[in-house]
Amino acid sequence: MMFHRPAQLLSLFALLAWSVLTLSACASEDPDEPSTPADARADADVCTASFGPGGMLATPVGSSAPNPRMGEQVVYELQVRSANACDPLVGSAEQQEACRARVAPEVNYRAEGTTCSALGQLERIRLGTLDDLLEPTTDYREGITLAYVNERVGATALWLMPLFPNNDIQRIPDPCDNIGSPYAVRDYWHAAGTLSRACILDGRDEYSENPCWANEELRAVIDEAHARDMIVMLDIAFNHFGHRYQFYDQANYAPHTNWLAQDPGGELLWDFEATFDPGLLEPVILDNDQTLREQAANLPDLQQALTTVEAECPNLQGQRLVQHVAAWRAALPNERTDWNCDATMLEDMVPGFYLGSDTRRPSQGNGDWFTRDWYDVKFIFHRADQPQWRNEFLRQREYMFRVMNYWVSQGVDGFRLDHATDDFGGMSGEEWRYLIEKVSFYAEQRGQERPVFLAEEFHRQQEMSPVVDAMTEGFLFDMNGRNGAIKNAGYVERVLENANRFSFNTYIKAGLENHDELRLVDGTGFSPWTGMGFWALGAASWTMPMLLMGQEFGESQRLTFKRSAFLPGRFVGTSSYREDGDQLIAAYRQFIDARLDPGNAALLRTGRRFLRTQTGGQADNLVAFVRWGNNSTPMLVVHNLWESESSARFVFAPDLAAGIGMTACDEWRAVDTFTGSVLVPCMAGTEWTRSIPIRMPWNRRASWARIEVCTEVP
């Protein structure tokens, strides 16, 4: 019901009474005598003419419309290792006991040359696993599970922050980053073994001589999500890798150097249909000696690489042999000269994968790196604008494609692209367009739906907006309005208008929290309840609504994703724990259900107009707008921004009334989709253009109401 403080419920609406003036044009001359067809036509003409020229209002469209599947989602961002983490000394007695009993990884502190004064406290935290997401509970106090996210919160898409093995050793920026940044990835083909109960019980992980990974567990999460009609998005950062990248690859692919040999003019280099490789439809990862030899028996190119590397480096075995063969296949002739058989990292075997220190060419060797001020990563060479380095550019681009294509083949539905472009390494909208279209093309060949793509984009926003389905910029900072912004109706309207600045070529992610930012209660003036209302303004708009794990129950502690951490708000007795957490979740769920209700399809369309009061201005604390499009039932959206009783008299401009299908003489009403109560009672269309009285009590956040014609009850 969108209330808070449930013990103090006020009446849902106190509707003001008013008189409905009847125009002579809207009444029959003699109610006892039925009108002739000619009379009816004349009456209809008068009623229509009273609104001026008819015709439906246009529904804005972009020149490059995004995948509509993206706009049909409510996304839940989750970090696997912290979502279900716990401290055995925190929470209720039951929670502490459950924490001590759980299967959790033993985290070793590996950071070189640093010490952490809080290490004991960090090591006490028991981190989560992918298996935890499959537990049946829907109580967030017991766990953040797929069942909880889907059944309690109502989200339809899971955005998994990077869950790959990552750099937690070299040049860690903070001495207490005991598990490192998940965005400093060092192997994109595997989910980290520390996220698998089976690996933990076996005493192995990605660092073991015989590595253990969590790919099977990730596939189980994907399958369970699909069974719930949810989609799964992986978070990738392709403009940089973490230090000590472990180079694996798939077995059955044709090296890009073959294209160059066949096509020295370069016409094929951007034509993925002409270079279609059937071996990429069912990728096989080379990540163990047995698979390497089995695949090499049927793949001459792979067999040649294996034979060459074994002759060059006869002492290589196991994982080191596998990685050297993969790197040798990717290396160019100059990089194969004086091959270092002792190398254990990509940067030592194939330095040209990375950006050189002058940012204009590939790295020429160890130490020739560009890292910006991101100390735990190295940037990748992506410069398509340097034709003398075309081989390196194509190699990196096609490796990125193979990674994405592999995960889509495993059921992944899309990707969040971290720091999508940059002006240093050269990753551009042109390259992303190629990658996205090629990944989608191969998905289509497998009979899969087109994947969705969300980009974090700071540099080339106008360039990327026609390429991806959603962008992260243009809502969070603006709507939160920190630094003393006065968040009244005028402010909110400007934010919502700005969210459409990409001309409907891409959705905007409508979230008020993410892993890089403060919680919505920090510095905004929001309580968890008012913050929810401001979040819902995005959910009532043409956007991609998104929640960060914990937002829905009022988590106040910022997500710390570079070290062991947990969500205090899940645990009874912590400063973040809220007694009204269940009510807050239920309120978010009502907004989400209303957003996704097919009867409210107008919320997913592009048509919108803000209403003005009888005096032509804005109501300071009430935001009101109409949504329409594609033959959907028009909706009147009203938000009470702050915790005060608010009222105003709005009007529909005649062209708006006519444009959404209203007629002057018929009576219309607005019915609240949350409660079924009447927000605006039956009034002739002409009255809608004169006065629509709205009053909302202090604890009412919003009304989303369908505008419908009144029908006579027999």
Instruction: Tell me the per-residue pLDDT of 249-271, one tens digit each, with 9 for 90 and over.
Output: 999 998 888 887 777 777 788 99
| CA atoms in the 13 A half-sphere facing the CB of 278 | 0
Give pLDDT tens digits for 542-578: 999 999 999 999 999 999 999 999 999 999 999 999 9
The pLDDT assigned to 6 comes to 35
- List the alpha helices (DSSP H) in 543-597: 581-596
Alpha carbon distance 150, 156 (integer Å): 6
The pLDDT assigned to 50 comes to 59
The domains located in the chain, with CATH, are: 6-59+605-709 (2.60.40.1180), 68-236+474-596 (3.20.20)
For 210, counting Cβ atoms within 10 Å of its Cβ (0-12 exposed, 13-18 middle, 19+ buried), the class is: exposed
Rounded mean pLDDT, 8-24: 26
pLDDT at position 689 over 90? yes
Look at residues 344, 405, 406, 352 and name the one whose alpha carbon lies nearest to residue 379: 352
Alpha carbon distance 499, 503 (integer Å): 9
Show the CA angle centred on residue 595, arms to residues 593 and 600, nearest 5°. 105
The pLDDT confidence band at residue 60, using thresholds 50, 70 and 90, is confident
Look at residues 581, 492, 471 and name the one whose alpha carbon lies nearest to residue 536: 492
In the block, tokens 């990552």 appear at 166
The pLDDT assigned to 423 comes to 84
The pLDDT assigned to 21 comes to 22
Give pLDDT tens digits for 154-200: 999 999 999 999 999 999 989 999 999 999 999 999 999 999 999 99
The pLDDT confidence band at residue 711, using thresholds 50, 70 and 90, is confident
The pLDDT confidence band at residue 3, using thresholds 50, 70 and 90, is very low
* HEC readout, 665-709: CCEEEEEECCCCCEEEEEEEHHHHCCCEEEEECCCCCEEEEEEEE
Q: Write down the pTM of the prediction.
A: 0.93
Show the CA angle centred on residue 341, arms to residues 336 and 345, nearest 5°. 85
pLDDT at position 676 over 90? yes
Cβ neighbours of 654 (radius 10 Å) = 18
Give pLDDT tens digits for 465-491: 999 999 998 899 999 999 889 999 999
pLDDT at position 653 over 60? yes
507 is written with which tokens? 């959705």
pLDDT at position 19 over 60? no
What are the angstrom distances between the C-alpha of 364 and each of 335, 394, 600, 667?
9, 17, 57, 75
The pLDDT assigned to 33 comes to 36
Rounded mean pLDDT, 201-220: 97
Alpha carbon distance 242, 237 (integer Å): 10
Alpha carbon distance 163, 466 (integer Å): 28
The pLDDT confidence band at residue 47, using thresholds 50, 70 and 90, is low
Give pLDDT tens digits for 107-154: 999 999 999 999 999 999 999 999 999 999 999 999 999 999 999 999
pLDDT at position 13 over 70? no
Q: pLDDT exceeding 90 applies to what percent of the chain?
A: 83
How would DSSP label each residue in 590-637?
HHHHHHH-GGGGGGGSSEEEE-EETTSS--TTEEEEEEE-TTPPPEEE
pLDDT at position 582 over 80? yes
Residue 555 in contact with residue 527, Cβ under 8 Å?
A: no
Average pLDDT, the chain: 90
Given the DSSP bridges, would you call strands 414-417 and 452-455 parallel, antiparallel or unpaired? Answer: parallel
In the block, tokens 């008189």 appear at 19
Alpha carbon distance 653, 611 (integer Å): 8
The pLDDT assigned to 57 comes to 86
pLDDT at position 597 over 80? yes
Least confident of 98-112, 252-266, 267-281, 378-392: 252-266
Alpha carbon distance 528, 348 (integer Å): 50
The pLDDT confidence band at residue 48, using thresholds 50, 70 and 90, is low
Q: pLDDT exceeding 70 applies to what percent of the chain?
A: 92
The pLDDT assigned to 255 comes to 86
Give pLDDT tens digits for 599-608: 999 999 999 9
The pLDDT assigned to 267 comes to 77
The pLDDT confidence band at residue 31, using thresholds 50, 70 and 90, is very low
Q: What is the DSSP letter of 416?
A: E
Phi/psi of residue 578, each to 5°? Answer: -115, 130
